[in-house]
Amino acid sequence: MSSLIHWPHNLFQTQDIPAFHSRPFTRRGGRTLSGFELTTQTDLGFWQASLSNILVMSRDLLHQEAWNAIRVALQGRSGLVIVPAYHVGSRLQKLAKAQRSFVAHSDGSTFSDGASYRNEPALLQMEEQAQIGSTVVKLRGLQEGLSLSGIRFSYFHALYESGPVIEKNGDVIQLPIFPAVRAKIPAGALLNVSEPTCLMHLASDNQMDMEFGLSPVTNKSLSFVEAIDYWDEEAAS
């Protein structure tokens, strides 16, 4: 995934909180004798996201160049973009952000601009291997007293949200997740909770259209949909 576009949320800041919405997919399950329509849950749900009121500095050529470059790279809905769910939505995510540190590489090197590498705290791991299509998993909190219900986390840019606790055994929690597991997650894998990410497409081919006006700031909103086609292809390969 090294060639994928990471949405630069630090460059293109938003006035509104980024929104990630789960879209469950249900099927009709017939009707009861009283005429009530039944629905059946499937594992085909997906994520939708929106970044509203992105602040694009019309007179900042860096902003214009970056926007144009991303537009060319994505080529409408066909491109893949990694969208961060960076808004703090749980106590665990708040803790993870607070415990992040910035360090040099193991050989003492840094990025070319002198910046350090971000070191993510180890707070959450997969207790047992999660197979593709699983909707119930076992998670282990790596610090005492962590709440693992109702949190978002990601693994290799597949975004998940946990449901209510089914069973608890010490630091190990069994619970449902949304959506179904996109790609196998091995036992012991560390999960990203400080800034989980989701692999997505633009919702339409014209999402990146931009008209820079005379105002110093141009507001733009973008919509994304999860790239479930990518995960389907990965599972089939």
The full DSSP string for 9-32 is: TTTS-BSS--EEEEE--EEEEEE-
User: What are the extents of the domains in the chain?
Assistant: 1-85+197-237, 89-195
8 Å CB contact between 163 and 151:
no
- At residue 186, the pLDDT reads 98
DSSP state of 50: E
- Beta-strand runs (E) in the chain: 5-6, 19-23, 26-31, 37-41, 46-57, 81-84, 101-103, 117-119, 124-126, 136-141, 152-155, 158-162, 167-169, 172-178, 197-202, 217-226
Q: Is the predicted pLDDT of residue 111 greater than 60, yes or no? A: no
CA distances from 201 to 3, 33, 70, 123, 145 (A): 15, 43, 12, 29, 37
CATH number of 89-195: 2.40.30
DSSP state of 76: G
Strand, helix or coil for residue 30 = strand
Residues 154, 156, 157, 158, CA torsion sign: negative
pTM, two decimals, is 0.84
Q: Which residue from 222, 210, 223, 221 is spatially nearest to 58, judged by alpha carbons?
A: 210
Q: Is the predicted pLDDT of residue 223 greater than 60, yes or no? A: yes
Q: Is the predicted pLDDT of residue 100 greater than 70, yes or no? A: yes
> And the tokens for 189?
């894998």
CB atoms inside a 10 Å sphere around CB 230: 19
For 15-48, the pLDDT digits (tens) are 888 899 998 766 555 555 555 554 455 557 899 9
What is the identity of the amino acid at 53?
A: N
Within this chain, domains 1-85+197-237 and 89-195 share the same CATH topology: yes
For 47-81, the pLDDT digits (tens) are 999 999 999 888 888 888 999 999 999 999 999 99
**H or E segment at 26?**
strand 26-31
Q: Which residue from 6, 67, 49, 62 is spatially nearest to 211, judged by alpha carbons?
A: 67
**Entry field: residues in the chain:** 237
Q: What is the mean pLDDT of residues 73-100?
A: 86
For 165-219, the pLDDT digits (tens) are 999 999 999 999 999 999 999 999 999 998 899 999 999 999 999 887 778 888 8
Domain 1-85+197-237 bears CATH identifier 2.40.30 = yes
Rounded to 5°, the CA angle 55-16-212 comes to 20
Q: Do β-strands 217-226 and 101-103 pair in parallel, antiparallel, or remain unpaired?
A: unpaired
